[in-house]
Structure 1
Amino acid sequence: MFKVLARRAFMAAAVSAVALGSMAFQSNDGQDRHVRITNATGVTMTHFWASSAGEENWQEDILGSDVLPNGSAVRINIDDGSGACVYDFRARFADGDVLERYRINVCRVSEYRYSAG
């Protein structure tokens, strides 16, 4: 019984970490960089990246070992501590499709929706 409870607590903590983003990085300008990512594509999102616009490389996969099923959403703290507001998003889906969106102002946008078509 203890193992089951410990496992559930660990899973809840892991999901919370993804939903809240890394608390280690916070800009000091008072801007809210939390964005609710909604998956309405009909396919499970398996990876999600957000990198400051103009970066040559994508940062780490924010979803990690989690996925975002179709019809679900997660609130993510996009703040990387740089003070940037404009980010590029990249999402990979279970069917192999990759969607990249550029120059999203996360200081002004509180929700971003991936949809089919």
Structure 2
Amino acid sequence: MKRSLKLLSVASLLVLVAVASAFSHPRADGPQDFTLVNRIGTTIEEVYVSPSTEADWEDDVLGTDVLINGDSVEIIFEDRKKQKEWDLKVVTAAGKSWIWEELDLMTISEVTISLRNGKPYATTK
């Protein structure tokens, strides 16, 4: 009986150590993290951010969320990719899409997207 109780205690301790270590590591956010501000005049349903050198878009970073006109969202890169220039694509609730190309996300912390005469325009900080 004592032996099984001791094994149970060791197993419990190992589980606690594993759980604690999983939460103790800081996130490795990438240097390309930025805030996206929607000023295009309508709700955005999809946002794609991919390296400028890639032909295909990565996954929709909004997932099931939407970005209402005037609101902002933090775009967080979970790994430290070395890519400097990124393209940004948004798709509205009406299915209209616009693309902003070659954004230097190593030096940009905020991208405000808008339309001027129906063409995509970005202001950066």
How does the TM-score come out when normalised to structure 2? 0.65
Conserved 8 A contact 2:29-2:77: no
Larger C-alpha radius of gyration, 1 or 2? 2
**Contact 2:48/2:89 (8 A) holds in 1:** yes
Deviation, structure 1 residue 111: 0.8
Q: CA RMSD in A?
A: 1.7
The 3 A distance-change label for structure 1 pair 68 and 99 is same
Letter in 2 for 1:100: I
Q: How far does residue 26 in structure 1 lie from its aligned partner after superposition?
A: 5.0
- Segments of structure 2 that go 5 or more residues without pairing to the other structure are 1-26, 117-125
Q: Percent identity?
A: 26
- Does the CA contact (< 8 Å) of 1:33 and 1:79 recur in 2? no
Which residue is equivalent to 2:89?
90
Larger relative contact order (CA 8 Å, sep ≥ 6): 1
Q: Work out the CA distance in 1 between the residues paired with 2:60 and 2:79.
A: 13
Residue 67 of structure 1: how far off its partner (Å) = 0.4
Runs of 4+ aligned residues of structure 1 deviating over 2 Å after TM superposition are 78-82
Structure 1: gaps (5+ residues): 1-22
Alignment of 1:27-106 (within 5 A): 32-78=31-77, 80-106=79-105
